[in-house]
Amino acid sequence: MLRLLFVGDSMTIGSAGEHTWRHRMWQHLRATYDGPFQIVGPRETLYDKALDAPDSHEYADDVEPAFPRRHLAGWGEGWLHMAPLIGETVRTHRADLLLVSLGLIDLGFYTDAGQTAANAHTFITEARAANPRIAVAVLPVIPNVRADTDTSFAEEVALFNELLAKTVADLDTDRSPLLLASVPEAYDINHDTYDGTHPNASGEHKLAGAFADAMHQAWDLGAPYSA
pLDDT digits (tens, 9 = 90+) for 25-67: 999 999 999 999 999 999 999 999 999 999 999 999 999 999 9
pLDDT score of 227 more than 90: no
pLDDT digits (tens, 9 = 90+) for 64-121: 999 999 999 999 999 999 999 999 999 999 999 999 999 999 999 999 999 999 999 9
Query: Is residue 53 helix, strand or coil?
Result: strand
In a domain, 10, yes or no: yes
CATH of the domain at 78: 3.40.50.1110
Please count the structural domains in the chain.
1
pLDDT score of 214 more than 90: yes
d(CA 155, CA 141): 12
Give the amino acid at 162. Answer: E
Q: Which domain holds residue 66?
A: 2-219
In a domain, 227, yes or no: no
pLDDT category at 23 given cuts 50, 70, 90 is very high
pLDDT digits (tens, 9 = 90+) for 115-161: 999 999 999 999 999 999 999 999 999 999 999 999 999 999 999 99
In a domain, 34, yes or no: yes
d(CA 82, CA 180): 18
pLDDT reported for residue 157? 98
Q: Which of 184, 192, 178 is nearest to 225 (CA)?
A: 184
pLDDT reported for residue 185? 85
In a domain, 226, yes or no: no
In a domain, 77, yes or no: yes
DSSP for 124-154, written as a single string? HHHHHHH-TT-EEEEEPPPP-HHHHH-HHHH
pLDDT digits (tens, 9 = 90+) for 162-178: 999 999 999 999 999 99
In a domain, 33, yes or no: yes
In a domain, 22, yes or no: yes
In a domain, 199, yes or no: yes
